[in-house]
Structure 1
Protein backbone atom coordinates (compact mmCIF):
# COMPACT_ATOMS: atom_id res chain seq x y z
CA UNK A 1 0.00 0.00 0.00
CA UNK A 2 1.58 3.29 -1.12
CA UNK A 3 2.23 6.23 1.14
CA UNK A 4 -0.07 9.22 1.07
CA UNK A 5 1.22 12.59 -0.12
CA UNK A 6 1.07 13.83 3.46
CA UNK A 7 3.25 10.97 4.69
CA UNK A 8 5.71 11.59 1.88
CA UNK A 9 5.90 15.28 2.74
CA UNK A 10 6.42 14.47 6.43
CA UNK A 11 9.13 11.98 5.56
CA UNK A 12 11.00 14.48 3.41
CA UNK A 13 10.56 17.23 6.01
CA UNK A 14 11.99 14.97 8.72
CA UNK A 15 14.87 13.97 6.44
CA UNK A 16 15.66 17.59 5.63
CA UNK A 17 15.52 18.53 9.32
CA UNK A 18 17.92 15.69 10.18
CA UNK A 19 20.30 16.73 7.40
CA UNK A 20 20.13 20.36 8.58
CA UNK A 21 20.95 19.28 12.15
CA UNK A 22 23.87 17.15 10.94
CA UNK A 23 25.09 20.04 8.80
CA UNK A 24 25.00 22.44 11.77
CA UNK A 25 26.87 19.91 13.89
CA UNK A 26 29.50 19.47 11.16
CA UNK A 27 29.91 23.24 10.93
CA UNK A 28 30.14 23.48 14.71
CA UNK A 29 32.75 20.72 14.89
CA UNK A 30 34.76 22.24 12.06
CA UNK A 31 34.93 25.56 13.92
CA UNK A 32 35.58 23.88 17.25
CA UNK A 33 38.31 21.43 16.23
CA UNK A 34 40.16 23.64 13.73
CA UNK A 35 41.44 27.18 13.42
CA UNK A 36 41.70 29.77 16.17
CA UNK A 37 39.48 27.92 18.66
CA UNK A 38 41.67 24.83 18.46
CA UNK A 39 44.84 26.82 19.15
CA UNK A 40 43.24 28.81 21.95
CA UNK A 41 42.23 25.59 23.75
CA UNK A 42 45.70 24.13 23.24
CA UNK A 43 47.33 27.35 24.53
CA UNK A 44 45.16 27.36 27.68
CA UNK A 45 46.12 23.77 28.50
CA UNK A 46 49.80 24.27 27.66
CA UNK A 47 50.01 27.45 29.75
CA UNK A 48 48.17 25.86 32.68
CA UNK A 49 50.16 22.60 32.65
CA UNK A 50 53.48 24.48 32.48
CA UNK A 51 52.50 27.07 35.11
CA UNK A 52 51.21 24.58 37.66
CA UNK A 53 54.10 22.17 37.10
CA UNK A 54 56.58 24.98 37.73
CA UNK A 55 54.52 26.10 40.73
CA UNK A 56 54.77 22.60 42.22
CA UNK A 57 58.54 22.55 41.65
CA UNK A 58 59.07 25.99 43.18
CA UNK A 59 56.71 25.35 46.09
CA UNK A 60 58.31 22.00 46.94
CA UNK A 61 62.01 22.71 46.36
CA UNK A 62 62.42 26.48 46.75
CA UNK A 63 60.02 27.44 49.53
CA UNK A 64 61.58 26.47 52.86
CA UNK A 65 60.55 26.96 56.45
CA UNK A 66 62.78 29.24 58.57
CA UNK A 67 65.89 27.44 59.84
CA UNK A 68 65.67 28.85 63.37
CA UNK A 69 62.64 26.79 64.47
CA UNK A 70 62.76 24.92 67.77
CA UNK A 71 62.73 21.10 67.59
CA UNK A 72 59.04 20.90 68.51
CA UNK A 73 58.06 23.57 65.99
CA UNK A 74 60.20 21.92 63.33
CA UNK A 75 58.35 18.62 63.86
CA UNK A 76 55.01 20.38 63.49
CA UNK A 77 56.13 22.10 60.30
CA UNK A 78 57.78 18.97 58.88
CA UNK A 79 55.08 16.32 59.52
CA UNK A 80 53.15 15.74 56.32
CA UNK A 81 55.33 18.24 54.51
CA UNK A 82 53.72 20.33 51.78
CA UNK A 83 51.24 17.50 51.17
CA UNK A 84 49.22 18.44 54.23
CA UNK A 85 47.95 21.59 52.52
CA UNK A 86 44.88 21.44 50.30
CA UNK A 87 46.43 24.26 48.27
CA UNK A 88 49.44 22.11 47.37
CA UNK A 89 47.34 19.02 46.66
CA UNK A 90 45.05 21.12 44.48
CA UNK A 91 47.88 22.54 42.36
CA UNK A 92 49.07 18.95 41.77
CA UNK A 93 45.50 18.06 40.77
CA UNK A 94 45.36 21.02 38.36
CA UNK A 95 48.71 20.09 36.80
CA UNK A 96 47.50 16.51 36.27
CA UNK A 97 44.18 17.65 34.81
CA UNK A 98 45.65 20.15 32.34
CA UNK A 99 48.31 17.65 31.28
CA UNK A 100 45.59 15.09 30.50
CA UNK A 101 43.64 17.80 28.65
CA UNK A 102 46.77 18.73 26.68
CA UNK A 103 47.34 15.10 25.72
CA UNK A 104 43.72 14.88 24.64
CA UNK A 105 44.23 17.95 22.44
CA UNK A 106 47.12 16.15 20.75
CA UNK A 107 45.91 12.55 20.60
CA UNK A 108 42.28 12.43 21.71
CA UNK A 109 38.88 13.75 20.70
CA UNK A 110 37.49 17.29 21.04
CA UNK A 111 34.43 16.97 18.82
CA UNK A 112 30.94 17.98 19.91
CA UNK A 113 29.49 14.52 20.31
CA UNK A 114 27.20 12.63 22.62
CA UNK A 115 29.51 9.63 22.96
CA UNK A 116 33.31 9.58 22.72
CA UNK A 117 35.59 6.58 22.29
CA UNK A 118 38.61 8.51 23.55
CA UNK A 119 39.70 7.44 27.03
CA UNK A 120 41.70 10.64 27.34
CA UNK A 121 38.54 12.65 26.64
CA UNK A 122 36.51 10.62 29.16
CA UNK A 123 39.20 11.02 31.83
CA UNK A 124 39.52 14.74 31.09
CA UNK A 125 35.79 15.34 31.42
CA UNK A 126 35.35 13.40 34.66
CA UNK A 127 38.44 14.80 36.41
CA UNK A 128 37.39 18.34 35.51
CA UNK A 129 33.79 17.91 36.65
CA UNK A 130 34.37 15.97 39.88
CA UNK A 131 37.71 17.38 41.05
CA UNK A 132 39.50 20.12 39.10
CA UNK A 133 36.75 22.75 38.82
CA UNK A 134 35.11 22.40 42.27
CA UNK A 135 38.33 22.01 44.28
CA UNK A 136 39.98 24.95 42.46
CA UNK A 137 37.05 27.23 43.29
CA UNK A 138 36.76 25.90 46.83
CA UNK A 139 40.44 26.67 47.45
CA UNK A 140 40.32 30.07 45.74
CA UNK A 141 37.14 31.40 47.33
CA UNK A 142 37.76 29.94 50.80
CA UNK A 143 41.32 31.27 50.90
CA UNK A 144 40.55 34.81 49.81
CA UNK A 145 37.43 35.16 51.97
CA UNK A 146 39.34 34.11 55.12
CA UNK A 147 42.38 36.15 54.02
CA UNK A 148 40.28 39.33 53.79
CA UNK A 149 38.59 38.58 57.11
CA UNK A 150 41.80 37.82 59.04
CA UNK A 151 44.80 36.69 57.06
CA UNK A 152 46.59 35.40 60.20
CA UNK A 153 44.05 32.54 60.28
CA UNK A 154 45.01 31.26 56.81
CA UNK A 155 48.24 32.92 55.59
CA UNK A 156 50.20 34.59 58.42
CA UNK A 157 52.29 37.65 57.53
CA UNK A 158 55.41 35.69 58.52
CA UNK A 159 54.99 33.68 55.30
CA UNK A 160 55.46 36.78 53.13
CA UNK A 161 59.23 36.51 53.45
CA UNK A 162 59.37 32.89 52.24
CA UNK A 163 56.32 32.58 49.98
CA UNK A 164 56.45 34.94 46.94
CA UNK A 165 53.27 36.76 45.96
CA UNK A 166 53.34 35.42 42.38
CA UNK A 167 53.29 31.86 43.74
CA UNK A 168 50.44 32.78 46.07
CA UNK A 169 48.37 33.82 43.04
CA UNK A 170 49.36 30.73 41.04
CA UNK A 171 48.12 28.38 43.74
CA UNK A 172 45.18 30.42 45.08
CA UNK A 173 43.91 32.51 42.15
CA UNK A 174 45.02 31.12 38.79
CA UNK A 175 43.70 27.67 39.62
CA UNK A 176 40.15 29.03 39.42
CA UNK A 177 40.75 31.43 36.51
CA UNK A 178 42.25 28.74 34.29
CA UNK A 179 39.46 26.31 35.21
CA UNK A 180 36.95 28.91 33.98
CA UNK A 181 38.92 29.42 30.76
CA UNK A 182 38.95 25.66 30.27
CA UNK A 183 35.20 25.44 30.78
CA UNK A 184 34.65 27.99 28.01
CA UNK A 185 37.02 26.27 25.54
CA UNK A 186 36.24 22.56 26.10
CA UNK A 187 32.89 21.03 25.22
CA UNK A 188 32.09 18.28 27.69
CA UNK A 189 29.22 16.24 28.98
CA UNK A 190 29.15 16.16 32.76
CA UNK A 191 28.91 12.69 34.34
CA UNK A 192 25.71 11.67 36.07
CA UNK A 193 25.19 13.81 39.15
CA UNK A 194 25.50 10.79 41.46
CA UNK A 195 28.81 9.75 39.92
CA UNK A 196 30.23 13.27 39.88
CA UNK A 197 29.24 14.23 43.42
CA UNK A 198 30.39 10.84 44.78
CA UNK A 199 33.89 11.49 43.44
CA UNK A 200 33.76 15.09 44.58
CA UNK A 201 32.72 14.32 48.16
CA UNK A 202 35.11 11.35 48.43
CA UNK A 203 38.05 13.61 47.61
CA UNK A 204 37.24 16.23 50.22
CA UNK A 205 36.36 13.65 52.91
CA UNK A 206 39.70 11.90 52.36
CA UNK A 207 41.42 15.26 52.80
CA UNK A 208 39.56 15.89 56.09
CA UNK A 209 40.68 12.46 57.33
CA UNK A 210 44.23 13.39 56.31
CA UNK A 211 43.92 16.64 58.32
CA UNK A 212 43.14 14.61 61.43
CA UNK A 213 46.05 12.25 60.83
CA UNK A 214 48.41 15.22 60.60
CA UNK A 215 46.84 16.69 63.75
CA UNK A 216 47.35 13.41 65.62
CA UNK A 217 51.05 13.04 64.79
CA UNK A 218 52.13 16.69 64.82
CA UNK A 219 49.90 17.89 67.65
CA UNK A 220 48.79 20.89 65.59
CA UNK A 221 46.08 21.62 63.07
CA UNK A 222 47.29 22.42 59.57
CA UNK A 223 45.37 25.71 59.46
CA UNK A 224 45.44 28.20 62.37
CA UNK A 225 41.68 28.80 62.01
CA UNK A 226 41.03 25.23 63.18
CA UNK A 227 43.08 25.92 66.33
CA UNK A 228 41.02 28.93 67.41
CA UNK A 229 37.56 27.52 66.69
CA UNK A 230 35.75 25.64 69.48
CA UNK A 231 34.99 21.98 68.80
CA UNK A 232 31.44 22.41 67.47
CA UNK A 233 32.44 25.31 65.19
CA UNK A 234 35.48 23.40 63.97
CA UNK A 235 33.34 20.54 62.68
CA UNK A 236 30.72 22.92 61.39
CA UNK A 237 33.53 24.58 59.41
CA UNK A 238 34.64 21.19 58.01
CA UNK A 239 31.04 20.29 57.15
CA UNK A 240 30.71 23.61 55.33
CA UNK A 241 33.90 22.79 53.46
CA UNK A 242 32.26 19.61 52.16
CA UNK A 243 29.02 21.43 51.38
CA UNK A 244 30.81 24.26 49.59
CA UNK A 245 32.70 21.73 47.46
CA UNK A 246 29.35 20.27 46.35
CA UNK A 247 28.06 23.78 45.59
CA UNK A 248 31.14 24.40 43.43
CA UNK A 249 30.44 21.13 41.59
CA UNK A 250 26.83 22.15 40.90
CA UNK A 251 28.01 25.60 39.82
CA UNK A 252 30.35 24.05 37.26
CA UNK A 253 27.62 21.75 35.99
CA UNK A 254 25.20 24.67 35.62
CA UNK A 255 27.65 27.02 33.88
CA UNK A 256 28.72 24.22 31.52
CA UNK A 257 25.07 23.62 30.53
CA UNK A 258 24.56 27.35 29.89
CA UNK A 259 27.78 27.91 27.92
CA UNK A 260 27.24 24.88 25.69
CA UNK A 261 23.43 25.01 25.49
CA UNK A 262 23.31 25.40 21.65
CA UNK A 263 25.54 22.35 21.17
CA UNK A 264 23.47 20.28 23.62
CA UNK A 265 20.30 21.25 21.72
CA UNK A 266 21.84 20.10 18.42
CA UNK A 267 22.87 16.77 19.93
CA UNK A 268 19.39 16.33 21.40
CA UNK A 269 17.78 17.05 18.02
CA UNK A 270 20.14 14.63 16.30
CA UNK A 271 19.32 11.90 18.81
CA UNK A 272 15.57 12.52 18.43
CA UNK A 273 15.81 12.24 14.63
CA UNK A 274 17.69 8.93 14.93
CA UNK A 275 15.03 7.40 17.19
Structure 2
Protein backbone atom coordinates (compact mmCIF):
# COMPACT_ATOMS: atom_id res chain seq x y z
CA UNK A 1 0.00 0.00 0.00
CA UNK A 2 2.86 2.38 0.86
CA UNK A 3 4.54 1.65 -2.49
CA UNK A 4 1.30 2.35 -4.37
CA UNK A 5 0.87 5.66 -2.54
CA UNK A 6 4.45 6.62 -3.32
CA UNK A 7 3.89 5.96 -7.03
CA UNK A 8 0.67 8.00 -6.92
CA UNK A 9 2.47 10.91 -5.25
CA UNK A 10 5.28 10.69 -7.82
CA UNK A 11 2.76 10.79 -10.67
CA UNK A 12 1.02 13.76 -9.06
CA UNK A 13 4.28 15.68 -8.69
CA UNK A 14 5.25 14.81 -12.26
CA UNK A 15 1.89 16.01 -13.58
CA UNK A 16 2.20 19.30 -11.69
CA UNK A 17 5.74 19.87 -12.98
CA UNK A 18 4.55 19.14 -16.52
CA UNK A 19 1.61 21.51 -16.11
CA UNK A 20 3.82 24.33 -14.84
CA UNK A 21 6.24 23.76 -17.74
CA UNK A 22 3.38 24.38 -20.17
CA UNK A 23 2.27 27.41 -18.15
CA UNK A 24 5.79 28.87 -18.25
CA UNK A 25 6.00 28.42 -22.01
CA UNK A 26 2.76 30.25 -22.72
CA UNK A 27 3.44 32.82 -20.00
CA UNK A 28 6.75 33.70 -21.63
CA UNK A 29 5.00 34.24 -24.95
CA UNK A 30 2.31 36.39 -23.33
CA UNK A 31 4.88 38.46 -21.44
CA UNK A 32 6.75 39.11 -24.67
CA UNK A 33 3.56 40.33 -26.35
CA UNK A 34 2.85 42.61 -23.40
CA UNK A 35 6.32 44.13 -23.55
CA UNK A 36 5.92 44.71 -27.29
CA UNK A 37 2.57 46.46 -26.89
CA UNK A 38 2.27 50.20 -26.44
CA UNK A 39 -0.30 50.06 -23.67
CA UNK A 40 0.34 52.53 -20.82
CA UNK A 41 -0.39 49.72 -18.39
CA UNK A 42 2.89 48.03 -19.37
CA UNK A 43 4.75 50.44 -17.07
CA UNK A 44 3.62 48.08 -14.30
CA UNK A 45 6.14 45.57 -15.67
CA UNK A 46 9.17 47.85 -15.50
CA UNK A 47 10.03 46.46 -12.06
CA UNK A 48 10.31 42.99 -13.58
CA UNK A 49 8.18 39.89 -13.19
CA UNK A 50 9.10 39.64 -9.51
CA UNK A 51 7.19 42.86 -8.95
CA UNK A 52 4.09 40.66 -8.74
CA UNK A 53 3.19 38.48 -5.76
CA UNK A 54 1.77 35.98 -8.25
CA UNK A 55 5.30 35.46 -9.59
CA UNK A 56 6.64 34.93 -6.08
CA UNK A 57 3.99 32.29 -5.51
CA UNK A 58 4.69 30.62 -8.86
CA UNK A 59 8.39 30.47 -8.03
CA UNK A 60 7.67 28.85 -4.68
CA UNK A 61 5.28 26.36 -6.28
CA UNK A 62 7.54 25.37 -9.12
CA UNK A 63 10.66 24.97 -7.01
CA UNK A 64 8.73 22.96 -4.44
CA UNK A 65 7.16 20.54 -6.91
CA UNK A 66 10.31 20.15 -8.99
CA UNK A 67 12.35 19.27 -5.90
CA UNK A 68 9.52 17.00 -4.71
CA UNK A 69 9.61 15.09 -7.99
CA UNK A 70 13.40 14.76 -7.81
CA UNK A 71 13.07 13.50 -4.24
CA UNK A 72 10.41 10.98 -5.28
CA UNK A 73 12.69 9.57 -7.97
CA UNK A 74 15.78 9.51 -5.74
CA UNK A 75 13.87 7.61 -3.07
CA UNK A 76 14.42 4.47 -5.14
CA UNK A 77 18.19 4.99 -4.96
CA UNK A 78 20.52 3.72 -2.25
CA UNK A 79 23.25 6.24 -3.10
CA UNK A 80 24.33 8.05 0.07
CA UNK A 81 24.28 11.47 -1.59
CA UNK A 82 20.77 10.85 -2.86
CA UNK A 83 19.63 9.90 0.63
CA UNK A 84 21.22 13.08 2.01
CA UNK A 85 19.34 15.16 -0.56
CA UNK A 86 16.05 13.52 0.42
CA UNK A 87 16.68 14.26 4.09
CA UNK A 88 17.70 17.85 3.26
CA UNK A 89 14.56 18.46 1.23
CA UNK A 90 12.43 16.95 4.00
CA UNK A 91 13.86 19.56 6.35
CA UNK A 92 13.01 22.30 3.83
CA UNK A 93 9.45 21.06 3.44
CA UNK A 94 9.03 20.80 7.19
CA UNK A 95 10.09 24.42 7.58
CA UNK A 96 8.32 26.19 4.77
CA UNK A 97 5.30 24.31 3.40
CA UNK A 98 2.75 25.33 6.04
CA UNK A 99 4.07 28.81 7.04
CA UNK A 100 5.17 30.01 3.58
CA UNK A 101 3.74 28.12 0.61
CA UNK A 102 0.20 27.71 1.94
CA UNK A 103 -0.25 31.41 2.89
CA UNK A 104 1.31 32.57 -0.40
CA UNK A 105 -1.02 30.33 -2.40
CA UNK A 106 -4.26 31.37 -0.76
CA UNK A 107 -3.33 35.03 -0.56
CA UNK A 108 -2.71 34.96 -4.31
CA UNK A 109 -6.04 33.28 -5.07
CA UNK A 110 -8.28 35.08 -2.58
CA UNK A 111 -6.83 38.56 -3.02
CA UNK A 112 -6.71 38.44 -6.80
CA UNK A 113 -10.27 37.25 -7.30
CA UNK A 114 -11.72 39.46 -4.56
CA UNK A 115 -10.31 42.61 -6.14
CA UNK A 116 -10.98 41.35 -9.67
CA UNK A 117 -14.68 40.86 -8.97
CA UNK A 118 -15.00 44.17 -7.12
CA UNK A 119 -13.02 46.36 -9.53
CA UNK A 120 -11.37 44.50 -12.44
CA UNK A 121 -9.57 47.61 -13.69
CA UNK A 122 -7.62 47.73 -10.41
CA UNK A 123 -6.22 44.24 -11.06
CA UNK A 124 -4.79 44.61 -14.59
CA UNK A 125 -7.94 43.26 -16.25
CA UNK A 126 -6.87 44.96 -19.51
CA UNK A 127 -4.03 42.46 -19.82
CA UNK A 128 -6.30 39.40 -19.94
CA UNK A 129 -6.46 39.69 -23.73
CA UNK A 130 -2.74 38.84 -23.78
CA UNK A 131 -2.89 35.97 -21.32
CA UNK A 132 -6.29 34.42 -21.89
CA UNK A 133 -8.66 32.92 -19.29
CA UNK A 134 -6.91 29.56 -18.91
CA UNK A 135 -3.50 31.11 -18.23
CA UNK A 136 -5.05 33.54 -15.77
CA UNK A 137 -6.71 30.65 -13.95
CA UNK A 138 -3.48 28.64 -14.07
CA UNK A 139 -1.64 31.17 -11.90
CA UNK A 140 -4.53 32.51 -9.81
CA UNK A 141 -7.04 29.65 -9.44
CA UNK A 142 -5.62 26.20 -10.14
CA UNK A 143 -2.80 26.80 -7.66
CA UNK A 144 -5.27 26.32 -4.80
CA UNK A 145 -6.52 22.79 -5.67
CA UNK A 146 -2.97 21.80 -6.62
CA UNK A 147 -1.58 22.75 -3.22
CA UNK A 148 -4.60 21.26 -1.43
CA UNK A 149 -3.90 18.01 -3.27
CA UNK A 150 -0.32 18.13 -2.02
CA UNK A 151 -1.58 18.88 1.49
CA UNK A 152 -3.69 15.71 1.56
CA UNK A 153 -1.32 13.42 -0.32
CA UNK A 154 1.84 14.04 1.71
CA UNK A 155 2.71 14.59 5.35
CA UNK A 156 4.59 17.75 6.25
CA UNK A 157 6.36 18.58 9.47
CA UNK A 158 5.18 21.67 11.29
CA UNK A 159 7.77 24.02 12.83
CA UNK A 160 7.20 25.56 16.24
CA UNK A 161 4.76 28.46 16.43
CA UNK A 162 7.58 30.95 16.79
CA UNK A 163 9.56 29.66 13.82
CA UNK A 164 6.44 29.38 11.70
CA UNK A 165 5.50 33.00 12.34
CA UNK A 166 9.11 33.97 11.62
CA UNK A 167 9.06 32.31 8.19
CA UNK A 168 5.69 33.87 7.33
CA UNK A 169 6.95 37.28 8.43
CA UNK A 170 10.10 36.93 6.32
CA UNK A 171 7.98 36.15 3.25
CA UNK A 172 5.77 39.22 3.60
CA UNK A 173 8.56 41.55 4.70
CA UNK A 174 10.70 40.47 1.74
CA UNK A 175 7.92 41.18 -0.73
CA UNK A 176 7.20 44.55 0.86
CA UNK A 177 10.90 45.45 0.82
CA UNK A 178 11.00 44.62 -2.89
CA UNK A 179 7.79 46.37 -3.98
CA UNK A 180 7.56 49.54 -1.92
CA UNK A 181 10.87 51.14 -2.97
CA UNK A 182 9.81 50.75 -6.61
CA UNK A 183 6.44 52.26 -5.75
CA UNK A 184 7.35 55.22 -3.59
CA UNK A 185 10.66 56.13 -5.22
CA UNK A 186 10.11 55.24 -8.89
CA UNK A 187 6.31 55.29 -9.01
CA UNK A 188 6.19 51.74 -10.37
CA UNK A 189 3.49 49.81 -8.55
CA UNK A 190 2.71 46.20 -9.52
CA UNK A 191 -1.05 46.70 -9.35
CA UNK A 192 -3.26 49.72 -10.18
CA UNK A 193 -5.07 49.59 -6.84
CA UNK A 194 -1.77 50.39 -5.10
CA UNK A 195 -1.42 53.54 -7.20
CA UNK A 196 -4.67 55.05 -5.94
CA UNK A 197 -3.84 54.53 -2.25
CA UNK A 198 -2.58 57.33 -0.05
CA UNK A 199 0.08 56.87 2.63
CA UNK A 200 -2.45 55.92 5.32
CA UNK A 201 -4.03 53.31 3.07
CA UNK A 202 -0.62 51.83 2.31
CA UNK A 203 0.20 51.51 6.01
CA UNK A 204 -3.11 49.75 6.66
CA UNK A 205 -2.74 47.56 3.58
CA UNK A 206 0.83 46.56 4.44
CA UNK A 207 -0.13 45.47 7.95
CA UNK A 208 -3.28 43.73 6.74
CA UNK A 209 -1.16 41.56 4.43
CA UNK A 210 0.81 40.29 7.42
CA UNK A 211 -2.42 39.59 9.30
CA UNK A 212 -3.86 37.67 6.36
CA UNK A 213 -0.66 35.65 5.95
CA UNK A 214 -0.71 34.77 9.66
CA UNK A 215 -4.37 33.78 9.32
CA UNK A 216 -3.66 31.26 6.56
CA UNK A 217 -0.65 29.92 8.44
CA UNK A 218 -2.75 29.34 11.57
CA UNK A 219 -5.58 27.71 9.57
CA UNK A 220 -3.35 25.21 7.81
CA UNK A 221 -1.16 24.57 10.82
CA UNK A 222 -4.27 23.58 12.73
CA UNK A 223 -5.59 21.55 9.77
CA UNK A 224 -2.27 19.69 9.45
CA UNK A 225 -2.32 18.79 13.13
CA UNK A 226 -5.94 17.63 12.95
CA UNK A 227 -5.34 15.56 9.83
CA UNK A 228 -2.03 13.91 10.72
CA UNK A 229 -1.70 14.38 14.48
CA UNK A 230 1.75 13.51 15.80
CA UNK A 231 2.77 12.35 12.32
CA UNK A 232 2.89 16.00 11.24
CA UNK A 233 6.01 16.47 13.39
CA UNK A 234 8.52 13.87 12.16
CA UNK A 235 11.91 13.57 13.76
CA UNK A 236 13.52 15.30 10.78
CA UNK A 237 11.57 18.45 11.54
CA UNK A 238 12.39 18.30 15.22
CA UNK A 239 16.08 17.76 14.61
CA UNK A 240 16.16 20.57 12.05
CA UNK A 241 14.59 23.01 14.51
CA UNK A 242 17.14 22.07 17.14
CA UNK A 243 19.91 22.96 14.69
CA UNK A 244 18.40 26.40 13.90
TM interval, shorter chain, is 0.7 to 0.9
Alignment partner of 1:86 is 2:59: no
Larger helix percent: 2
Deviations 1:209-228 (A, max 9, x none): 11112224542321111122
Aligned twin of 2:155: 187
Indicate yes or no: 2:142 matched with 1:149.
Answer: no
Say which is worse superposed, 175-184 or 37-46, in terms of deviation: 37-46
Q: Structure 1 length normalisation: TM-score?
A: 0.74
Aligned counterpart, 1:248 = 216
1:130–1:53: structure 2 CA closer, same or farther, 3 Å change rule? farther
Unaligned residue ranges in structure 2 (runs of 5+): 77-85, 236-244
Q: Specify the SS of the correspondent of 1:222.
A: coil
2:138 paired residue among 148, 167, 170 = 170
1:139 corresponds to which residue? 108
- Displacement, 1:44? 2.1
Any gaps of 5 or more consecutive residues in structure 1?
A: 1-30, 110-116, 268-275
Q: Does 2:117 align with 1:161? A: no
Residue number in structure 1 paired with 2:182: 214
Q: C-alpha displacement at 1:232, in angstroms?
A: 1.1
The residue that corresponds to 1:120 in the other structure is: 89
- 1:225 lines up with 2:201 in the alignment: no
Offset of 1:235 from its aligned partner? 1.8
**Given the superposition, is the C-alpha separation of residues 75 and 192 from structure 1 closer, same or farther in structure 2, using an over 3 Å criterion?**
same
Q: Which of residues 207, 226, 232 is equivalent to 1:258?
A: 226
**In the comparison of the two structures, how many residue pairs are matched?**
226
Residues in 2 aligned to 1:252 and 1:44: alpha-carbon distance in whole angstroms: 21
Q: 1:184 to 1:74 in 2, by over 3 A?
A: closer
Distance 2:148 2:163 in 1: 22
Q: CA RMSD in A?
A: 2.7
Correspondence 1:39-54 to 2 at 5 A? 39-54=7-22
Q: Would the aligned equivalents of 1:200 and 1:249 in 2 still touch at CA under 8 Å?
A: yes
Task: Confirm whether residue 198 of structure 1 aligns to residue 166 of structure 2.
Answer: yes
Query: What TM-score results when the alignment is normalised by the length of structure 2?
Result: 0.82
Structure 1 position 81, deviation (Å): 1.9
